Amino acid sequence: MNKRLNIELVKKAMDSLGFNNSQVSERLMVSRTIVGEWLAGKKFPRPDKLVRLGMLLRLPHSDLVVDDVPLEAAFNFRKKAHRALTDAHFAGALKKAMLLDSISDYLPDAALEVPPVLKRPLMDYAYIQKAVAMVRGLADKSLTDVINYSDLVNIIHAYDVVPVPVFWGVTSSKDNDAHALYIESPRSKREWMYINMDSYLLDFKFWVAHEIGHIITKCTCDVDLSEEFAELFAQSFLFPEEIAAKAYKDLVGLDANQLVAEMIALADPLFISPYTIYKSVNSYATENGYDQLEKLNSSYIVIKKYVEKKSTLIEKLRSDSAHSLAGEDDYLPPEVYVYLAETYFKTPIFDSLRKFLGETSRGDGFLQSLFDIQTVEAKELHYYLTH
C-alpha cells in the first residue's frame, strides 16, 4: 500500500493556522499547483518537503502520513549486466512482496533469533573484512576455506531468509533481467531471496554472496551505497584479504594474457569467477596504496568464455540428480523443478504454496506473477501443486 498524506488533518491544520495553498507554497518554495496536487491526493511530497510541511503545520510525522514507509517492503536487486533499475522493476518487486506476504502465514514459524546484522554499514575495507569473517564463521569457514554452494544456502537459512529459486535466463535478453532479488517485508516480518537457477555456475556464488551482503545490512543504507557495499562484500567473501594479499604478489606486473591465465588457475579450485579474484585483489591493492593489476581490456573475453564453459547451476543440479529426473534439455517438468529447489535450497515455499492454494483456490495467475513465468508453465506448476 502506498504512503499518502493525511489530507483531512493537513487541511484542518492549515485552517487552524490561517494558511491557504498560496502561503504554503511560498513557505515551502513549491508551486501552488504542487500544493493543490498534494491536497487532492494526486502527488506525495518529496522527503525534504514532507519534513518542512510537518514543521510548518506543527504535525508529527505519524499524523502527517498514512501508511508510512515502514510498512513498505524494501528491495535489493542483482541486475544482469548492471542494467539500470526502472520504476517497472520496483513495481514488479512490490507486487511480488504482496504475493509473498499472502503466503507467509503458511510458512514454518520464523526463527526466534538470527545472527548479527551490521548496524551502520561502512565502505571501509577493514570493516568489510570483519563482516566477511563474521559471515564465514556462520558456515564454520576460515578466511582461507573454499565456500561451497551448500555454505551459501546454510547462511541464507541462518538469517531466516526464504529462498525462492526461479528460472530467469542467463542473459539480459530474457524477459526478466534480474539475477537475484532480496525482499524484506515489514508487513509479514519475512525476508525472501529470489535466486536465478539459470545463472552460470561461477557467477552464481558471487550473486548469492552479493545478496547476503544486502541481508546483513538489512536495507539500512541507501540504494547506491547498499549496492556498492554488497559488491565489495561479495568479492571479499569469496576471495578474502588473506589470500588476496598472497595472490597480489603473484599477479602484479603480469601482462593481460598472463594475468588471465594465472587468475583462472587460482579460480579453478575455488570454483569462482577469475573476475572475482581480479576485483578482490585490486581492492586489496587500493587499500594498501599498491599499483593496480594490468587492465584486462579484450582479455576479459577469455574469462567470459571460461565462465560460460562451466554451464549453468540448473544444468549441474540436473546432472547430479537421479537419471529419472533429468528430463529433456529444453524442458523442466514442475515435479523436477520443485524437487531440485527443495533438495538443494531447502526452501519451504512450495509446501506453503500447496497449503495456500488448497485453502484459497487461487489460480495459476498467482504463480505466474509470483515466479515471473509463462502462462503454460504456471498452469503446469499449479496443477502439480494442487493434485
Q: Is residue 129 part of a domain?
A: yes
Shared-domain flag, residues 208 and 289: no
What's residue 320's pLDDT? Answer: 78
- Please check whether residues 225 and 204 belong to one and the same domain: yes
Does residue 168 lie in a domain region? yes
Q: How far is Cα of residue 326 from the mean position of the Cα atoms in its chain?
A: 29
Residues 246 and 356 in one domain: no
Cα 145–Cα 289–Cα 126 angle in degrees, nearest 5: 45
**Residue pointed to by grid coordinates 533499475:** 85
Same domain, yes or no: 202 and 274: no
Backbone angles phi, psi at 118, to 5 degrees: -85, 120
In a domain, 280, yes or no: yes
pLDDT in tens, the chain (387 residues): 457 888 889 999 999 999 999 999 998 989 999 999 999 888 888 877 887 888 889 888 778 887 644 556 777 776 555 566 666 777 788 889 889 999 999 999 988 888 989 888 889 999 999 999 999 999 999 999 999 999 999 999 999 999 999 987 655 444 455 567 888 888 888 999 999 888 888 888 998 999 999 999 875 555 667 788 999 999 999 999 999 999 999 999 999 999 999 999 999 999 999 999 999 999 999 999 999 999 999 988 999 999 989 888 888 888 877 645 545 556 788 998 999 999 999 999 999 999 999 999 899 999 999 998 889 999 999 999 999
Domain of 50, CATH number, reads 1.10.260.40
Q: How far is CA 117 from CA 34, 206, 213, 216, 221, in A?
A: 40, 20, 10, 5, 13
Residues 126 and 210 in one domain: yes
175 by Cβ neighbours in 10 Å (0-12 / 13-18 / 19+) ranks as exposed
Same domain assignment for residues 289 and 320: no
Is residue 44 included in any domain, yes or no?
Answer: yes
Domain count along the chain: 4
Q: Are residues 268 and 278 in the same domain?
A: yes
Grid cell digits, residue 269: 579450485
- Helix, strand, coil % over all residues of the chain, rounded to 5: 60, 10, 30
Distant-in-sequence contacts of 245-248, Cβ < 8 A, 24+ apart: 245/284, 247/277, 247/281, 248/281, 248/284, 248/285, 248/290, 248/293
- Predicted pLDDT at 88: 73
Q: Which domain-ending residue is among 275, 291, 307?
A: 307
Give the residue among 264, 286, 157 at the shortest CA–CA distance from 202.
264
- Considering the domain architecture, whether residues 220 and 81 belong to the same structural domain is answered as yes
Rounded distance between C-alpha atoms, residue 28 and residue 387, angstroms: 60
What single letter denotes the amino acid at residue 13?
A
Tell whether 128 and 225 lie within a shared domain.
yes
Q: What is the pTM of this model?
A: 0.77
Residue range of the domain that includes 37: 4-69
Q: What is the pLDDT of residues 56-111, one digit of tens each?
A: 898 887 788 876 445 567 777 765 555 666 667 777 888 898 899 999 999 999 88
| One-letter identity of residue 58 | R
As a whole number of angstroms, the distance between CA 298 and CA 262 comes to: 16
Q: Has residue 344 been placed in a domain?
A: yes
The predicted structure's pLDDT at residue 218:
78
Q: What is the pLDDT of residue 325?
A: 55
Q: What percentage of the chain carries pLDDT values higher than 70?
A: 88
- From CA 142, how far away is CA 145, in angstroms rounded? 5
Instruction: Report pLDDT for 173.
Output: 43
Residue finishing a domain among 186, 213, 238: 238
Indicate if 179 and 87 belong to the same structural domain: yes
pLDDT of residue 251: 97
In a domain, 109, yes or no: no
> Does 283 reside within a domain?
yes
pLDDT of residue 323: 44
User: What integer pLDDT is reported at residue 381 of this predicted model?
Assistant: 96
57 shares its domain with 28: yes
Give the C-alpha distances (Å, rounded to integers) separating 290 from 253, 262, 281, 285, 294: 11, 19, 10, 5, 12
Same domain, 218 and 94: yes
Q: Is 110 domain-assigned? A: no
